[in-house]
Chains A and B, each alone.
Chain A
């Protein structure tokens, strides 16, 4: 288009057009006010003693590394960070990736009706609102619920006995469709000649998978790991609606602890500082995956 925009100077190079700025402005304005500014503001609030109510809600000040020192001595924070790692590694990185890959591979080789039905059910679980998933898993894991009857312990409330395991399973149940779709698309895009060649050469199923499919899928796997980590790290609704972080603090992952400190204990400054740690953890994971992707490219 730049070519016909005018018969003035050079026509062989694209130039900046003011109309592009006009089209970008509304999005930039909204993102500036309610995204960029809050991010920068969070970077400041995390180092203050701002409170939700009382004197500190108006008269707060910069307190340097006080919040960081407080965190290191706060056993709830340490436990919370540990639970977050268990949740992300167990439910997301291992659970969703392995089950997602298994589903993608199995569905490829299943008969059509089973493929359609099972594939749709897994996707419906993903599309359901989180609050619904929280409710059905709450029901599933209660004493007298379906799980307890299946395991023949009908007076055991599994959400109290093994709370972290249940919320991780519920989260796996809800989110595995994402990895399944990513891997299915990755498998569809593999060059068929290579797969056929391996089959003709008589490689076993396992060997074909280990030595042909897996290496070819490596970029897809790394992208999936990155996205799944980022998406699950900030999981709040599902866990909060099922347990509110309890019993005790047994499922108090960092997003729940941020909410509790900020809006239940009214410590907005300290809560924000904890959320910055969450961002830091996300950044470390992202860096690891991007590095792994670069090194093999």
Chain B
């Protein structure tokens, strides 16, 4: 029983991702909670994983402009359509 409760950092960090994508079973929740209580690195991992989610979601909203003249592309597309 106790052996079942303590598992590796690989498994713990995998559960962090599983939790966000598919959800965890009660047993898995307990296992992850116990592991995090004893492992600072995995606790950091979870915080960072959530932070990376925010960064990558928000990054799409940044307003960089392409360095191309749309007119140039327009001409190219028109040429392709003419074929």
A binds B: no
